[in-house]
Amino acid sequence: MVMTMTTIDEQAAVLALTKATRDKPWLYTARIILDAGSALELLDGRCASRDADDRAHAADIAARVMPGDLAWARDLVTAMRGDGVHLVTVLDDAYPGNLMWAHDRQPFLWICGDIRPCDHRSVAVVGEDDTGHAADAARALAQAGITVVAPLHSALDAAVHQAAHDAGGRTLAVLTGGIAEPATVDEYASVAEQIANCGALVSAFWPDAAPTDRTVALSRIVTCGLADCLYVVDGAAGGSSAGHVEQALQTGKYVFVSQRLHQEQPWAARAGSRGGMTAVQDIDELPKQAVNLIDMTTGTNTY
């Protein structure tokens, strides 16, 4: 991707405004930047939002941006590109369409690898213990030509990516920390390298951010946002899978769960009672139902 000075300056302004965001989640900053159509205009005090809270937030963060912040941000973008990582902001055409439709979209993503137009046909696969089932699900989805989205934080996550790649598919790995922080991929560094070569590593955090419980929770926004729908293998009440289901339903994403999870975990049945969830009888049925759902939404969620 050729970077024009305008693109670099807008991206730097997005980073500077996000850095200045201290008392609200970053999604508020993403919203006002997207609404304005220019981060540079917000820095100049030009916020035309009709919402008084948004105007106040825009003025607040713009006032916090220091003279050296834009230069810092431009240097960061350039340095990361030298390491093979590129930045995509909510102002860029390359920002993933599935995530753009989420109300809690993040202001920027660091990407190692590439996200392609075909990746809008994607299913996120998450779970906690049943690695074999998760791998089988990823393999079936990949064989059906569906991109698999998953975190890269556990042995189960690594197995999901590996199974999809072995089946000739693509995966998007959502990182739970900074993309340049070694602890983010830790023991799964070799898997991460493979993903970057035939998919993408995606992080919504500062490049050097270490994984924490907070970043793990926030990464669910991106996992659910990037995918067209979610498949949940297993999980206990209050665990990671339950957190992904809650996030997906809040974002308006459809959720498929294994029949066993639906039968054995009351929290899953309760979540499904609100609608937006289907229990899948077996893994062979998953790709069929996912494809039917994705084909119905094709044309609205684009990359």
The residue type of 110 is W
3-state secondary structure labels for all residues of 226-243: HCCEEEECCCCCCCHHHH
- Number of residues written out for the chain: 303
CB 175 within 8 A of CB 201: yes
The residue type of 302 is T
| Gap between the Cα atoms of 131 and 148, Å rounded | 15
Contacting residues for 127 by C-beta, under 8 A, at least 6 apart? 133, 134, 156, 232, 233, 234, 235, 241
| Gap between the Cα atoms of 246 and 210, Å rounded | 24
Print pLDDT tens along the chain (303 aa).
Answer: 444 445 899 999 999 999 999 989 999 999 999 999 999 999 998 887 788 999 999 999 999 999 899 999 999 999 999 999 999 999 999 999 899 989 899 999 999 999 999 999 999 999 999 999 999 999 999 999 999 999 999 999 999 999 999 999 999 999 999 999 999 999 999 999 999 999 999 999 999 999 999 999 999 999 999 999 999 999 999 999 999 999 999 989 999 999 999 999 999 989 988 889 999 999 999 999 999 999 887 644 444
| Gap between the Cα atoms of 80 and 280, Å rounded | 42
Looking at 3.40.50.450, 3.40.50.410, 3.40.30.10, 1.10.287.3610, the CATH number of the domain 117-297 comes to 3.40.50.450
Sequence ranges of the domains in the chain:
5-94, 117-297
Contacting residues for 222 by C-beta, under 8 A, at least 6 apart? 99, 106, 109, 174, 202, 204
